[in-house]
Structures are given as structure tokens and as C-alpha cells.
């Protein structure tokens, strides 16, 4: 609990057996009520290890993608009664000790969404981020800031915290099941006028840390551009997009309860 609010950490996992223990050891357990790991059909022992470590574990029978993994993470966190949900990758790329600070920024009711930024504090290159990824990050972020009319240091971090009301309100079922899910979710948070804050987060790039290859990075970059254009056209009322539709049928928990009835 933090300021009387239940904090749940969710871990979208794929082949994280080697780094899970180290990540878990650095999570501030004194304020975290539950830790959920969703395994996206890993071929290693990630799920078994997570169970041995006492985590709430959910397993996809087949690989559904990073976005689909997050959808399961958030559904199950909300079902557990989470007031604040922090997404932390179990690959030890991001600093787990910042969970308290990120959750606190939401518990204080100053922000609805908090991002752990690799760009603030200039830690990305120091932590080993490949130079081409750093450059593409900066270019895409500038492009999105212009089209979306906000000013964030980056849109591409995988370390995020959300209030319950954000996860219940956003039409997350309209989003991709792939990596672009992250970017679409932030665009939705902007569209729905949620308050977004950032905190500087050191990052680590090493062999076991998850990363997408150059080809998939290009696909992701094109998806970012398309998401930004869709937002701008929607904002100007020149087109409609499912991404920014407030229909209850596109919210996670309507889907959760619907699946429980079938």
C-alpha cells in the first residue's frame, strides 16, 4: 500500500528466466501489494521460476505478442483491485527501485500516468543503448511532440505506471497486440487528457535484456508515425479512429467480464 492505495507490479515476460530473480530482488516490496507475471509462451522456465518465487502467474498457451501480454497484465491487476499499476519488464533493463517514486507520483494525485524516461538525465547512451536506437528515439519523439501537441522526453520507454482510472477508461482493446501497443496507449492517454509525468530512469543494455531487431524497429517506427497521424486527423475531426473511441466495449474490463460469462 502507498497512501492507502493498492500497488500492483505487472511483468510482461518472454524468456526472462535468467533475469527475473535479479529484477525481483530490487523491487521495493514494502509498498508493493502484488506482483503479477504474464508469460507469453516462453520456451524457458520463466513461468515455473516465477511460481517458485511466489508471484501471481498467468501463461499464454501460445505467443500472442507484447501488446496482448500487457492487456492480460492490466486485466488481472484490475481484477486484483489495484489502484496503481506499475509495468516493469523482468529483464532488469529498467531500475526496479524506482517503483516507489513512480507509484508515489500517482498516489499523490498529481499525475495519472508516469513514464520512466531513459532520455531525462542522459542515461540512455551511458547505459548502452545502441546509437541508431537513440537517434530514432529522438527523431520519433520530436515528430510525435509536434503532431500531438505535448512535450515528453520519450514515448518509447517500457517502464510505466498508471492509475486505475486510466486503465479502466482507455479503449485498450482497440490497440495492437504487437510492440506498437505502447505507443498507441500513450496517444490514447493524451487524447483522453490524462496527466502524464516523467522521471529519469537509468537503463541497462546487455545480452539478456529484451530488445527488438532492426527490421522490427523499422516496423515499430512506421507504426509510431501512423499513430501520430491518426491522432492529429482525429483531433482535427477529419477522421474517426477506433484508437480514440470511448465505447465501453473497447475497455479491458468489459472484455474481462464478458470472457468470464462465456
CA dist 153 to 9, 67, 161, Å?
23, 22, 16
Predicted confidence band at 249 (pLDDT cuts at 50, 70, 90)? very high
Do 28 and 99 meet the contact criterion of CB atoms below 8 Å apart? Answer: yes
72 membership: H or E segment, kind and range: helix 66-79
Length of the chain: 262
Asked whether residue 219 carries a pLDDT value surpassing 60, the answer given is yes
What is the arithmetic mean of pLDDT over 76-81? Answer: 97
- Provide the grid cell at 105: 507520483
What is the arithmetic mean of pLDDT over 86-105? Answer: 97
Do 199 and 100 meet the contact criterion of CB atoms below 8 Å apart? Answer: no
pLDDT single digits (tens) 149-159: 999 999 999 99
Which one has a higher pLDDT value, 204 or 210?
204
What is the arithmetic mean of pLDDT over 112-134? Answer: 87
How far apart CA 171 and CA 156 sit, in angstroms, is: 19
What is the arithmetic mean of pLDDT over 77-85? Answer: 97
CATH code linked to domain 7-261: 3.90.550.10
Which one has a higher pLDDT value, 127 or 255?
127
What is the arithmetic mean of pLDDT over 52-81? Answer: 97
Q: Residue 258: its pLDDT value, please?
A: 45
Residue with cell 487528457: 193
Residue with cell 500513450: 186
Query: Residues of the chain with pLDDT > 90: what percent?
Result: 84
Best CA proximity match to 113, nearest among 185, 178, 63: 185
Q: What is the pTM of this model?
A: 0.93
Q: Residue 125: its pLDDT value, please?
A: 78
Comparing 67-81, 138-152, 163-177, 208-222, the range with the smallest average pLDDT is: 208-222
pLDDT single digits (tens) 10-35: 999 999 999 999 999 999 999 999 99
Domain ranges across the chain: 7-261
Average pLDDT of the chain, as a whole number: 93
Neighbours of 31 (CB within 10 A): 18
Asked whether residue 261 carries a pLDDT value surpassing 70, the answer given is no
Amino acid at each position: 500500500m502507498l497512501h492507502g492505495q493498492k500497488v500492483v507490479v505487472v511483468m510482461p515476460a518472454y524468456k526472462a528466466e535468467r533475469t527475473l530473480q535479479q529484477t525481483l530482488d530490487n523491487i521495493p516490496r514494502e509498498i508493493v501489494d502484488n506482483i503479477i507475471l504474464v508469460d507469453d509462451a516462453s520456451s524457458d522456465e520463466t513461468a515455473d521460476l516465477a511460481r517458485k518465487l511466489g508471484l501471481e502467474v498467468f501463461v499464454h498457451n501460445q505467443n500472442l505478442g507484447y501488446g496482448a501480454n500487457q492487456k492480460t497484465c492490466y486485466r488481472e491487476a484490475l481484477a486484483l483491485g489495484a489502484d496503481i499499476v506499475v509495468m516493469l519488464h523482468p529483464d532488469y533493463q529498467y531500475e526496479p527501485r524506482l517503483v516507489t517514486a513512480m507509484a508515489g507520483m500517482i498516489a499523490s494525485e498529481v499525475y495519472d500516468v508516469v513514464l520512466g524516461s531513459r532520455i531525462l538525465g542522459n542515461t540512455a547512451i551511458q547505459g548502452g543503448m545502441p546509437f541508431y536506437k537513440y537517434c530514432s528515439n529522438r527523431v520519433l519523439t520530436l515528430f510525435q511532440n509536434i503532431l500531438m501537441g505535448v512535450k515528453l522526453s520519450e514515448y518509447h520507454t517500457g517502464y510505466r505506471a498508471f492509475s486505475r482510472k486510466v486503465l479502466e477508461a482507455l479503449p485498450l482493446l482497440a490497440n495492437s497486440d504487437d510492440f506498437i501497443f505502447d505507443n498507441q496507449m500513450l496517444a490514447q492517454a493524451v487524447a483522453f487528457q490524462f496527466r502524464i509525468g516523467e522521471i529519469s530512469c537509468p537503463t541497462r543494455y546487455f545480452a539478456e535484456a529484451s530488445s527488438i531487431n532492426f527490421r522490427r524497429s523499422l516496423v515499430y517506427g512506421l507504426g509510431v508515425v501512423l499513430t501520430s497521424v491518426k491522432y492529429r486527423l482525429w483531433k482535427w475531426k477529419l477522421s474517426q479512429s477506433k484508437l480514440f473511441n470511448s465505447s465501453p466495449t473497447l475497455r479491458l474490463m468489459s472484455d474481462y467480464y464478458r470472457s468470464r460469462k462465456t
